[in-house]
A = this chain, B = another copy of it.
């Protein structure tokens, strides 16, 4: 039931519609959890039934009506209970790595393109994370922020995201370099595995 708790945490940032929550996952939680809207609306309905969130329907004239969700005391209680359980391991699923692991039997050029796209996605994400960080710090240095801000949780996960995107960019560069190094040599000397 991690999705539940991920939603509860996102609601600490303030009440939101399902649509807005989906957006919050896309921008600031993408480095540790992901959801599709379809799953999210279903889960929010169940959470309301269980009393973890309160939903208020806001009637709108120019747009479809929306449901604004907010945390209940029971919701915060559930989050606290969850936080006391030991965490499972991080789970990563990355198609690109499957393909790279098999590069010696596959199309090198296609994979280099894939790696370049991944790199660009990380550059964009990093830029966005760093802008968010500046917004949070709001001119203060980190020490001051850490000691005075109302919350540090989102800052800590943001640091994780920043480090992770930097790591991805560095890996993409290294991988592209190594693939090129081997390819140059391979013009004169062939490698056995070609299927």
Which residues of A approach B to under 8 Å, CB–CB? 2, 5-6, 8-9, 12, 29, 31-34, 73, 76, 79-80, 82-84, 86-107, 110-111, 113-114, 117-118, 121, 142-143, 146-147, 150-157, 159-160, 163-164, 167-168, 170-171, 174-175, 178-179, 181-182, 185, 189, 191-193, 195
Contact = CB atoms under 8 A, between A and B. Distances in A.
A174 B163 CA distance: 11
A155 to B, nearest CB: 8
A160 B151 contact: no
A120 B24 CA distance: 31
A146 B175 CA distance: 11
A88 to B, nearest CB: 5
Oligomer: number of copies: 2
B185 A156 contact: no
Contact of A117 (B86, B105, B163): B86
B102 A146 contact: no
B152 A103 contact: yes
B193 A93 contact: no
A82 to B, nearest CB: 7
B150 A97 contact: no
A87 B96 contact: yes
A12 B182 contact: no
B100 A153 contact: yes
Contact of A150 (B101, B118, B167, B192): B192
Contacts of A102: 5, 8-9, 12, 79, 83, 153
Nearest to A177: B146
